[in-house]
Chain A
Amino acid sequence: MPSLEVSSPITGTVWKIVTQVGDRVEEDQPLVILESMKMEIPVPAPEDGVVEAIRIAEGDAIAEGDVIAVLRTD
């Protein structure tokens, strides 16, 4: 099963991490929630899969394109 890096669509701050390593997630399910442009912006899973790694911590400042998590996809 291939691994898929999920990167941030946007520059912002990590507000909440809402999944854990090992969680099975569905496409569009939020992995983490960022704060950007005065909004809470979820970063959703681009595909169904299992969370293999989370590469950021709550409060981190991140840039567009930074890897947030790694999914093992079906």
Chain B
Amino acid sequence: MPFEALLDELARRRAKALAMGGAEKLEKRRAQGVLDARQRLDYLLDAGTFVESGLLATSFRPEMVEKSPADGKVAGFGAIDGRPVAVVSNDFTTLGASSSVVNGKKIRHVRTVATQSGMPLILLGESAGSRMPDRMGAPGRAILGQDAQEYLRDRRTPWVSALLGSCYGSSTWYACLSDFVVMRKGATMAVASSKVTALAIKQAVDPEELGGWKLHTAVTGLVDVAVDTDEEALDYVKRFLGYLPSYNGEAPPVVAVPAGSDDAIADILDVVPESRSAVYDMRAVIGRIVDRDSMFEMKPRFGKSIVTALTRVDGRTVGVIANNPMFKGGSIDVDACNKATSFLVLCDSYNIPIVFLVDQPGFLIGMEGEKRGAPGRIMNWMNALSLVSVPRVTITLRKNFGQAYLNMGGGRNSDEAAAWPSADFGFMDPATGVNVLHGLKREDDPERFDVLMKEIARDSAPWPLAGLYEAQAIIDPRETRAYLKSILQVHRRAPTGGIGQHRLQHWPTSY
């Protein structure tokens, strides 16, 4: 056969690259229940769609060529639910998937094509950081930083990261640039490994404490969701992308509305207590308003007094920003501010209309917040909100106090404002208002206190706001879903096809 020797050589080289770091290392992972880089791609991508880029790439160092199949990072293109994506899957069995000259070129290529062709970029993280000795000394510096766009995040296409093992170096950096991050419990993400960190600070470092899921989902907010297995993490990646357009020049996909989506709103009056002192879990309200089972919560363990969730209404993606009285009475702290701002950036960048559901007593005041720069975070949010160009609708359920009224879309900060009859607009709680305005405490003169409190409460009812056309509609809570369906249709922005101006696309990442 012509070409026989050459084709044999191609087959040999391909087989060697596909064997990754070798049977022994792969078997060890299997025993731990962890997928390898190629199994992860098999699970993630539609069957038969993976087109690999750089299967035969290796280290450029002659002595390392045989030890660096695909140079430790499997890269290429494929499809998820029929929609094209670009992927990098780190192969930890090959030199710890450490960053090198050649695999850096692979990432760069895939990233560039993703942007040019309008595909999301998916990064399956598990990497040890810089490869040594490639990055050592002056020659190492001459390699590093040759691509000035390497860490540019301009949100022209969605980026998603899954942290599936020890993540240092590129896996960490790309996660912090991503729009959504899922982590497998047991994985870690940090600037440097616990070993390196322990050496630097001369004390023992627990990897979980340094960069485990609890830290990143609850304290730093750098990770959205933590799950138990690789498969669950990859399912999250697919689900997230289902809400987003492939690139910022198109509207998000429209899906069929699940049967029964209009039914759950029926008992909404039993979910939200009429008593202003009682609390409830706002997520139960969101679940009743949006399409059935469509709530996809971002950062659920972080800044819990605000809920940010991708949802669907009438089959179309809608971003919900809602106060949750269940946590801190719904008062908005620094973490909640950062969470809301990063969600505004996401929605504005990818043409996703925003709905505010408001029930908040104000910003959380106190020493802790001031030390963390609360006023700056509040203005950051306002600045972002002022730049948003996607449709915004705000619905006030109960309390809507203070300056936070504006952050939650009050006044001209929304395209449309509605309120439930239970809405209460004031600068502060009426009881506190009597203290502040009249210098009167209830125990001093209960009768007069109650009269004054009623006066303040009357002024803060939704009716005057409707009279002044500051609320365009007062709705029965049971009409909320129907109202949203119609009003989002009204604000469909037909002349631009629902594509916004993306003035937040260059905003900083990882609040």
Q: Which residues on A are within 8 Å of B, measured CB to CB?
A: 9-11, 27-28, 36-42, 44, 46-47, 64-65
Q: By the criterion CB–CB under 8 Å, are A9 and B328 in contact?
A: yes
Given A10-B331, A10-B364, A46-B218, A38 and B277 contact (CB-CB distance below 8 Å): yes
Nearest CB of A to B333, in Å: 8
Q: By the criterion CB–CB under 8 Å, are A38 and B432 in contact?
A: yes
Nearest CB of B to A27, in Å: 8
The contact of B328 among A38, A40, A41, A65, by CB within 8 Å, is A41
Measured CA separation A10–B331 after assembly (Å): 10
Q: Which residue of A lies closest to B366 (CB)?
A: A64
Measured CA separation A44–B326 after assembly (Å): 9
Given A40-B279, A46-B218, A64 and B367 contact (CB-CB distance below 8 Å): yes
B429 near A: Cβ within 8 Å? yes
Q: Which residue of A lies closest to B333 (CB)?
A: A9
Q: Which residues of A contact B239 (CB under 8 A)?
A: none
B329 near A: Cβ within 8 Å? yes
B315-333, CB under 8 A of A: which get 1 and which 0?
0000000000111110101
Q: By the criterion CB–CB under 8 Å, are B366 and A40 in contact?
A: no
Q: Which residues of A contact B431 (CB under 8 A)?
A: 38
Most interface-central of A27, A41, A46 (chain B CB within 10 A): A41
User: Chain B: interface residue count, which band?
Assistant: 20 to 34
Q: By the criterion CB–CB under 8 Å, are A42 and B326 in contact?
A: yes
Q: Which residues of B contact A65 (CB under 8 A)?
A: 368
Q: By the criterion CB–CB under 8 Å, are B366 and A11 in contact?
A: yes
Measured CA separation A38–B325 after assembly (Å): 12
B276 near A: Cβ within 8 Å? yes
Measured CA separation A46–B327 after assembly (Å): 11
Q: By the criterion CB–CB under 8 Å, are B218 and A42 in contact?
A: no
Q: Which residues on B are within 8 Å of A, measured CB to CB?
A: 214, 218, 276-279, 301, 325-329, 331, 333, 361, 364, 366-368, 429, 431-432
Most interface-central of A37, A41, A44, A46 (chain B CB within 10 A): A37
Nearest CB of A to B441, in Å: 13
Q: Which residues of B contact A47 (CB under 8 A)?
A: 214
Given A64-B367, A64-B368, A10 and B276 contact (CB-CB distance below 8 Å): no
Q: Which residues of A contact B278 (CB under 8 A)?
A: 39-40
Measured CA separation A36–B326 after assembly (Å): 13
The contact of A42 among B279, B331, B366, by CB within 8 Å, is B279
Q: Which residues of A contact B279 (CB under 8 A)?
A: 39-42
Measured CA separation A11–B369 after assembly (Å): 13
Q: By the criterion CB–CB under 8 Å, are A39 and B214 in contact?
A: no
Q: Can you list 28 pairs linking A and B with CB atoms under 8 Å apart?
A: A9-B327, A9-B333, A9-B364, A10-B328, A10-B331, A10-B364, A10-B366, A37-B329, A37-B331, A38-B276, A38-B429, A38-B431, A38-B432, A39-B277, A39-B279, A39-B361, A40-B277, A40-B278, A41-B279, A42-B279, A42-B326, A44-B326, A44-B327, A46-B218, A47-B214, A64-B366, A64-B367, A65-B368
Besides A37-B432, A38-B432, 10 more A-B contacts (Cβ < 8 Å) are A9-B327, A38-B429, A40-B279, A41-B279, A42-B326, A44-B327, A46-B218, A47-B214, A64-B366, A65-B368
Q: Which residues of B contact A39 (CB under 8 A)?
A: 276-279, 325, 329, 361
Measured CA separation A7–B196 after assembly (Å): 32
Q: Which residues of B contact A64 (CB under 8 A)?
A: 366-368
Q: By the criterion CB–CB under 8 Å, are B429 and A37 in contact?
A: yes
Q: Which residue of A lies closest to B368 (CB)?
A: A64
Measured CA separation A41–B360 after assembly (Å): 13
Nearest CB of B to A71, in Å: 12
Q: Which residues of A contact B277 (CB under 8 A)?
A: 38-40
Q: Which residue of B lies closest to A35 (CB)?
A: B277
Q: Which residues of A contact B214 (CB under 8 A)?
A: 47
Q: By the criterion CB–CB under 8 Å, are B329 and A10 in contact?
A: yes
Measured CA separation A27–B326 after assembly (Å): 13
Q: Which residues of A contact B367 (CB under 8 A)?
A: 64
Pick the 10 closest A-B CB pairs, nearest first.
A39-B329, A41-B329, A9-B328, A64-B366, A38-B429, A38-B431, A39-B277, A37-B361, A40-B277, A37-B329
Q: Which residue of B lies closest to A10 (CB)?
A: B328
Measured CA separation A29–B259 after assembly (Å): 31
Measured CA separation A39–B333 after assembly (Å): 17
Nearest CB of B to A72, in Å: 14
Measured CA separation A65–B333 after assembly (Å): 14
Measured CA separation A39–B331 after assembly (Å): 11
Q: Which residues of B contact A36 (CB under 8 A)?
A: 329
Measured CA separation A28–B368 after assembly (Å): 22
Q: Which residues of B contact A11 (CB under 8 A)?
A: 366
Measured CA separation A27–B213 after assembly (Å): 14
Q: Which residue of B lies closest to A30 (CB)?
A: B326
Q: Which residues of B contact A42 (CB under 8 A)?
A: 279, 326
Measured CA separation A28–B329 after assembly (Å): 14
Measured CA separation A28–B305 after assembly (Å): 12
Q: Which residues of A contact B328 (CB under 8 A)?
A: 9-10, 41
Nearest CB of B to A68, in Å: 13
Q: Which residue of A lies closest to B399 (CB)?
A: A39
Q: Which residue of B lies closest to A12 (CB)?
A: B329
Nearest CB of A to B403, in Å: 16
Measured CA separation A44–B364 after assembly (Å): 17
Q: Which residue of A lies closest to B305 (CB)?
A: A9
Q: Which residue of A lies closest to B401 (CB)?
A: A37
